[in-house]
Chains A and B, each alone.
Chain A
Amino acid sequence: MIRRIIPVLFAMDGHLVRSEKFNWHQRLGNLVAQVERYSQWDLDELIYIDISRSRDDNSSYDSEFADFVQLVADVCRMPLTFGGGIKSVRDAELLFENGADKVVVSSAAIDNPALVESLAKRFGTQAVCISLDVNKIGADYILTSRCSSKIHSDLEIGKWIEIVQGLGCGELFINPVHKDGSADGYDLTLAKIVLDAASVPVILCGGVGSPSDFENALRETDASALAAGNFFNFRELSYPMLKRQLLKNFDTEIREWSGSLS
């Protein structure tokens, strides 16, 4: 099976941002201006997380992000996953109506597990991705929510995975807060904990600094997809060059790149 390589983009108030442990955000450019560029890159998939309203905001999705979703779907011929502060079936519906193939839900799943079941019933298991927001405290991995402001030390990761899979989650996204912004490789120990419990596809994210980080993950785990945020933001030809490198040693597992370099 081909393993996906996925850029993750963080959006805040119409701008692309870089995050570091959810605390510091550097504005990287206008979201809309970037979309054409991404559409040329022959990506396996693209994940957009809107962090404008993740923390304490209980309002519904406004039309601005929905309009943005529509723009991306209009221009990009690739799988699109959207998320960030989804709290209701209606929030997700707005994203699907405008072009999302999958939605990713994090805090709301822990606050309201029944939402996972409602989303899966309405949109299909394969369309519901749950983000495991994890922090490392000492040697322990602890689930968190609301941009790490709430910790759930009594909820064991393996148990939580079993619960959300039972409710109809179709994919898992590992979001290790402690690795966000660092560039020293995926947390493979955490990856293995998750993969041991998972029966749905798993996307690794967080901590990528170099192509060898992707190679280590391909070699040492059976994650279905490898995602990265910052890695793809600062290097112009990062995606095609990464694909070229990975195809050398993992040619049966990586999709060929045939985008344009202009």
Chain B
Amino acid sequence: MTKAKVGVVYTGVANLNSLVGALKQLDIDYVVVKKEKDLSKATHLILPGDGSFDAGCHSLRESGLDDAILRWCDDSKAFLGICLGMQLMATYSAEGGGQVAGLGLIQESVEKLDKEETERFWPHIGWNKLDRFHAQSDPILSDIEEGAAFYFIHGYCIGLCDRTLASTVYGDAFSAIIARENLYGVQFHPEKSQKNGLVLLSNFASKIHD
């Protein structure tokens, strides 16, 4: 089996240090991707993201990496979107007025997290649990159990849908993990979620193959 080499997309709107630190800690080879040719030796691709949907989309379009990512995913190669990176996989976001198109890797939209009456505070900042798994098993969930806690910091989310692999509850239930073949998205930050996060990243690099 080829050793994994994880491409980490540089968007200018995310801090890469923490994610790269996690990959180094796991002894996973990586390459920072600023243009398409940086992808040539990568076996896996991670799209991190912080900040606003519009800024994230704009950055990917400017660099041409939006097309590169679509080509990568069309080939069913291993892909992981983190936080805003997961939201960018959607068609559009209600954040910022919904005028900007996402990558459309899944046919879902991003909505404002509806905390309903049960939670007093918005945005959703802190640790929360993977309440329920929506599939019997998935290699990315190896050694991770229902109820495992991860760190969330967001105000928008993708609701429950056909692509939901694991859900979390904050007022309403929303997608904590989405999956479509080899494409994954996680709303939480695995690089900030201590042991559980490292397990997930390790699973992505070692168990998801094209």
Binding site for B on A (CB under 8 A): 1-4, 42, 44-45, 70, 73-80, 96-102, 121-127, 170-171, 198-202, 222, 224-225, 255-256, 258
* 8 A-B pairs in the complex with CB atoms less than 8 angstroms apart: A77-B197, A79-B189, A98-B17, A123-B50, A127-B50, A170-B125, A199-B120, A256-B149
State how many angstroms separate the Cβ of A199 from the closest Cβ of chain B.
6
Known contacts A1-B170, A42-B195, A124-B50; A102 and B127 CB within 8 A of each other: no
Known pairs A97-B15, A126-B154, A224-B126 / 13 extra A-B pairs, C-beta < 8 Å = A1-B119, A2-B149, A77-B18, A77-B25, A98-B17, A102-B125, A126-B123, A126-B125, A126-B155, A171-B125, A201-B123, A258-B194, A258-B195
Structural contact, A99 and B153, CB atoms closer than 8 A: no
Contacts of A3 in B (CB 8 A): 126
Known contacts A2-B149, A73-B17, A73-B21; A170 and B123 CB within 8 A of each other: yes
- In the complex, the 4 A-B pairs of residues with the closest C-beta atoms, listed nearest first: A73-B17, A126-B123, A74-B21, A2-B127
Q: How far is the CA of A120 from the CA of B191 in the complex (A)?
A: 23
What total of A-B pairs shows CB separation below 8 Å?
A: 114
Structural contact, A1 and B128, CB atoms closer than 8 A: yes
Main secondary structure, interface of B, reads mixed
Structural contact, B198 and A101, CB atoms closer than 8 A: no
State how many angstroms separate the Cβ of A234 from the closest Cβ of chain B.
24
Structural contact, B21 and A125, CB atoms closer than 8 A: no
Q: Give chain B interface residues in 74-115, CB to chain A under 8 Å.
A: none
Contacts of A102 in B (CB 8 A): 125, 153
State how many angstroms separate the Cβ of B20 from the closest Cβ of chain A.
8
Q: Which residue of B lies closest to A100 (CB)?
A: B15
Q: Name the one of B21, B120, B121, B127 contacting A77, with C-beta atoms under 8 angstroms.
A: B21
Structural contact, B127 and A4, CB atoms closer than 8 A: yes
Q: Report B39-61 CB contacts with A as 1/0, cut-off 8 Å.
A: 00000000000111000000000
